[in-house]
Amino acid sequence: MSKNKPYIIGIAGGSGSGKTFFLKCFLEHFSAEEVCLVSQDDYYIPVAHNMTPEENKLYNFDLPATIDSEHFLADVQSLINYEPIIKQEYTFNNPNAVPKTLEIKPAPILIVEGLFILHFKQIADSLNLKIFLDTDEDVALQRRLKRDLNERGYSNDDVLYKWHNHVVPAYQEYLLPYRESCHKIVLNNTNNAQDIVRITDEISTELRHKLFGEN
């Protein structure tokens, strides 16, 4: 492989599409020296410390304007140039969470993941492989409810309000239009972990053969 530019994979999917588990399975096929990951979620512009719970409920986090896109693009470019980046982890509006300092070291494979990565044209144009995680809306909503109620402390009403007023409209405007331009569309309605493990096995085997000459 050329050292001039990493092979860049974009992984996009709406809320509840299973990006976190897909990435966990996918990354298990590579060493830390072979792959690095940068997540759009770590570039949210901090606002929660100024908000009441009601303001937090009404604030729409599902818009490109909530992302510090300039910083996001700059860090992606640094990794493309084989320069490490250091930044604060995003804590999903939890005032009690202490953010970790993340050091991301460049690697021959760069994964960029997030809701708006295909909408941000400069990032989309740099991707060598675009993977779209596609999930039926009712399945995605059940996953979102489980996560936000258990892990992030939102009420059922708050989750449903955000889902119908923020999440679904943003998905339809800023992600769904790019679905057909992706190289791989992964339907992820399963609750069987082995289905995703098998798909990540197949994709990673293809990549290891293509990039590292492995059979």
For 180-194, the pLDDT digits (tens) are 999 999 999 988 899
Q: Cα–Cα distance between 167 and 159 in angstroms, integer?
A: 10
- Tokens 């992820």 found at: 188
Is residue 1 pLDDT above 50, yes or no? no
- Tokens 């690697």 found at: 107
Say what the pTM is. Answer: 0.92
pLDDT band at 71 (very low <50, low <70, confident <90, very high): very high
* Mean pLDDT for the stretch of residues 58-80: 95
In tens, the pLDDT along 94-139 reads: 667 788 898 999 999 999 999 999 999 999 999 999 999 999 999 9
Q: Give the pLDDT score at 15.
A: 94
In tens, the pLDDT along 31-51 reads: 999 999 999 999 999 886 677
Mark out the alpha helices in the chain (DSSP H runs): 19-27, 53-58, 69-80, 121-124, 137-150, 156-162, 168-174, 193-212
Please, are residues 140 and 95 in contact by the beta-carbon 8 Å criterion?
A: no
Instruction: Domains for the chain: give ranges and CATH numbers.
Output: 7-212 (3.40.50.300)
Lowest average pLDDT, out of 3-12, 27-36, 198-207, goes to 3-12
Sequence-ordered list of residues with C-beta below 8 angstroms from that of 72, at least 6 positions apart, any chain: 38, 40, 43, 120, 123
The 10 Å Cβ neighbour count of residue 64 is: 14
Bridge partners for 132 per DSSP: 12, 185
pLDDT band at 2 (very low <50, low <70, confident <90, very high): very low
Strand runs labelled E in 50-135: 85-88, 101-104, 109-113, 129-134
